[in-house]
Structures are given as C-alpha cells and as structure tokens.
C-alpha cells in the first residue's frame, strides 16, 4: 500500500507537469476511458468527422501491443501516436509525457487520450487531462456504474455508445443506465450516442466546445492565441 | 519489476495450494474471464440451467464493490460467494483461498471463478484453476484477440457471447473473430453462444464434462469418489 501511494504520488507530479504543458500549448486534453470494445475509437472517429475543418485534433491511443486504434484515428484525420503499455492495464502520466513530445502539440485544439480498455485502473492514474470521459456501450448492461463506481464517479461525461442497438436488446432500458449512473455520480452528464451512424453526437461536441471555451480564459491569461 | 516478480511468485505458491485443494475436493475449477459486460454471468446462469439435476455447481464472483453477480448466480441455483477486490482489477490466489474456505467445496462438481471484468491482469494471476475460459461478446469487435493477446493465448476455450446479436451488427463477421483468435492462439477452441436464449451452449457443456472426466483419473488416484 505504501509503495502504491509512492507510485501514485510520482504520477501526480508528472500529471501536473503534463497539465501545464497542455495549458501552455492551448489544447484541451480529454482522457477517454471505457471497457474493451465499448466504442471509444468509434466515438473519436465520429468526433473527427463532426469537427473536420473547424478544429485540429490530436490523439494518443493506449494499447498493450498493437497500433490498430492509432491507425484508425489517423485514418479519420486525427494526428495520432500509439502508446504500447506492454503488460500495463492503464496509461500513466509518464507514458503520456513521452508520447506527447513525439506527437508535438503545436497547432492542436484537442488532444484525445484513448486509454487502455479497462474500467478499473485508468480511473486512478491522472494523466494531466482537463476532462474525463467514459464510453459505456449499452450492450454491457446497466449494472456497470454500480460495479465500477470509481470510474463513473470520476467521469465528467458518459457516452452511452451503440445506443442504436437498444431495440435489439430485450429487457435493457436506457432509464436503468441513467438511474444507476445517478446512484454513483451526483449530477451525471450522459448522452446516448451511435457513433458509427453519427447519431446523437451533437450534445457531446457542444460540451467539448464549451469546455474548450472555458479553458480559453486560462490560455488568454497565459498570453496564448485561442 | 523485481517487486512484480515477487508478487507473482507468492501468488504461484498460493495457487498451487488452491489447485491441490480443488483436486482433493474433486471439483473442476474454471477461471471465467472477459471484459465488463461480456456476458460471463449469463453464461454461468445458462450453464447452471443445462446442468441442473446432474451436477452440483459452486461459484465465486469477483467484483470491486458489489455482490450483484453472486446474487444472480445464487438465483440460478449455484451456491456462490462474492469476493470484493476493492480497487484491485483482478482476483488473486489468496482471495480465492479465503473465499473457498467460506464457501466449502464438499459435494461440489464444478467451481466457477468469475473474475473481475478485465482483459489484462486476470490473465497473469493463476488462481489454481484447472481451465481458463474467456467470454468475448461479439459486440466488442473482432480486433480484441490482437489487442489483448496474453488473455486469449491463455484461454483453453473462448465463448463468443451474444452471438444472436450478429445480424444487428453491420460489417461484423464471425470469421473475423475466428481468424484473429487463430493469429494469437495456435488451436483456439471457440464456440458462438447466446446464453440468454440458451443457444449454442451444448459444445461448451460437453467440453466441461470431458475436462471433468479427464481430471477424474487424478481424483481416483487420490482415492476420491467421482
């Protein structure tokens, strides 16, 4: 436990450094978390389509061994780097620090950090992000917020992905997801989305843009162009 | 890394003890792994229905904080105990050791150990099980074996769950799952199942019974009734 605390403290220090770096580069850093196959990459592909021509998107994609997600994101027009975690089940601030230096933030508006597919450990390792987003597929079952409360408590927004599949899931109701999210997070910000068909992404995009506008006050104070 | 090796070595020793305990109790211990919401509990509920009246089933259900799965398994007629891992993203042999003493193995035929929903860490912590099973939902996407190769390489069997949803998933083909599994595991044993509708469970049940029959030789050698 003592060792765990030391690891987390070292991570916090590095995350603070990343946060300053993101602030001075004028990018909104978004930590995107969720189960394997929840739809994280598809949400970012849809986000890239929606913001094409108006914002410059960057991404880091964390994975144990492949760069499949980074290549999908590149294909969607997002300048991306893959982070191979080896056997680690989450990204940490040090990994992000290294990858960001390779990616180069200059000129970017958003930095999406797609974490390793996992509802446990990514929630406790700060990366220096401005906001946390959890992508939860409606195929996973509405008990997930209760079973992984730390993850959902830390979420600034939850995207209920693959919502177009709800009619194919007998007995699964959107209200049950909303009720269980409300039990672990006081004011959950939740939107059903169907990223593959670009359905329901508008509130999410609006929220991102609002968060970016909020941060721009800090960027102006730092003498940055927004 | 040195600490990690010491933790794993201590776990191995405890797992060997568990394995002897399962052997002398005459139960086949099955480590059931998979993403959150992949369908692990539903598969075990379906297995309980299929084996009702012929085999006595026991289960341990690992979860961060709730006993929701253990209660579902009890409802399906499986004598069950829940293991709360707190912040740990996987079960370890010590947790299983304690829970098994509380559960009491006497009279059981199968012990299903439902791991925490996670495709990374559960694969590297031996619990003393006789077989590893991975439940992968077809909604998760066919790239998962490539992205989480350690998990799928250690699997003695893979259940492709929620297979009845395939017609609702445009562009997702069963062959892609089978091809990618074959790329990481030399001879993957894979069955599509739809546990909620009891579809396709027969090959899985037959395989379990065969594994149990194989182990019975060892039980006979130990002087146990099979």
DSSP code at position A118: B
For A147-198, the pLDDT digits (tens) are: 999 999 999 999 999 999 999 999 999 999 999 999 999 888 999 999 998 8
High-pLDDT (> 90) share of chain B, %: 86
What is the nearest CA distance from B164 to chain A, expressed in angstroms? Answer: 9
For A96-124, the pLDDT digits (tens) are: 999 999 898 989 999 999 999 999 999 99
Mean pLDDT in chain B? 94
Rg, Å, chain B Cα set: 17
pLDDT at B224: 62
Cβ-based neighbour number of residue A126 at 10 Å: 21
**Residues belonging to chain A with any Cβ–Cβ distance to chain B shorter than 8 Å:** 3, 35-37, 63-66, 68, 87-89, 116-121, 124, 137, 139-141, 143-144, 146-150, 162, 165, 168-169
C-alpha A147/C-alpha B33 separation (Å) is: 16
What is the nearest CA distance from A197 to chain B, expressed in angstroms? Answer: 11
DSSP code at position A136: E
- Is 90 exceeded by the pLDDT of residue A33? yes
pLDDT at B51: 97
pLDDT at A187: 83
**Residues belonging to chain B with any Cβ–Cβ distance to chain A shorter than 8 Å:** 3, 35-37, 63-66, 68, 87-89, 116-121, 124, 137, 139-141, 143-144, 146-150, 162, 165, 168-169
Measured between beta carbons, the chain A residues lying within 8 angstroms of B148 are 36, 64, 117
Q: Classify residue B171 by burial, with Cβ atoms within 10 Å: 0-12, 13-18, 19+.
A: exposed
Low-confidence ranges of chain B (pLDDT < 50): 226
- Is 80 exceeded by the pLDDT of residue A38? yes
pLDDT at A225: 54
Q: Classify residue B30 by burial, with Cβ atoms within 10 Å: 0-12, 13-18, 19+.
A: buried
Rg, Å, chain A Cα set: 17
Nearest CB to A35 within list B37, B88, B149:
B37
What ipTM did this prediction achieve? 0.94
pLDDT at B222: 67
Nearest CB to A168 within list B64, B143, B168:
B168
CB contact under 8 A, B118 and A116: no
């Amino acid at each position: 436990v003592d060792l765990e605390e030391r690891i987390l403290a070292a991570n916090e220090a590095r995350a603070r450094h990343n946060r300053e770096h993101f602030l001075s580069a004028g990018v909104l850093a978004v930590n995107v978390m969720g189960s394997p196959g929840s739809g994280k990459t598809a949400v970012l592909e849809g986000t890239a389509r929606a913001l094409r021509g108006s914002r410059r998107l960057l991404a880091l994609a964390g994975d144990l061994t492949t760069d499949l997600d980074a290549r999908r994101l590149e294909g969607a027009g997002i300048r991306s780097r893959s982070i191979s975690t080896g056997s680690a089940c989450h990204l940490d601030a040090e990994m992000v620090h290294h990858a960001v230096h390779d990616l180069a933030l200059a000129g970017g508006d958003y930095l999406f950090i797609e974490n390793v597919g996992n509802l446990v450990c990514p929630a406790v390792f700060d990366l220096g992000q401005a906001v946390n987003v959890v992508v939860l597929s409606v195929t996973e079952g509405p008990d997930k917020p209760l079973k992984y409360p730390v993850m959902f408590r830390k979420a600034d927004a939850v995207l209920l992905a693959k919502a177009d599949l709800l009619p194919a899931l007998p007995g699964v109701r959107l209200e049950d997801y909303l009720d269980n999210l409300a039990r672990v997070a006081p004011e959950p910000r939740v939107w059903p989305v169907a990223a593959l068909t670009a359905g329901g992404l508008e509130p999410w995009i609006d929220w991102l843009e609002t968060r970016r506008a909020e941060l721009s006050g800090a960027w102006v104070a730092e003498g940055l162009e927004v």
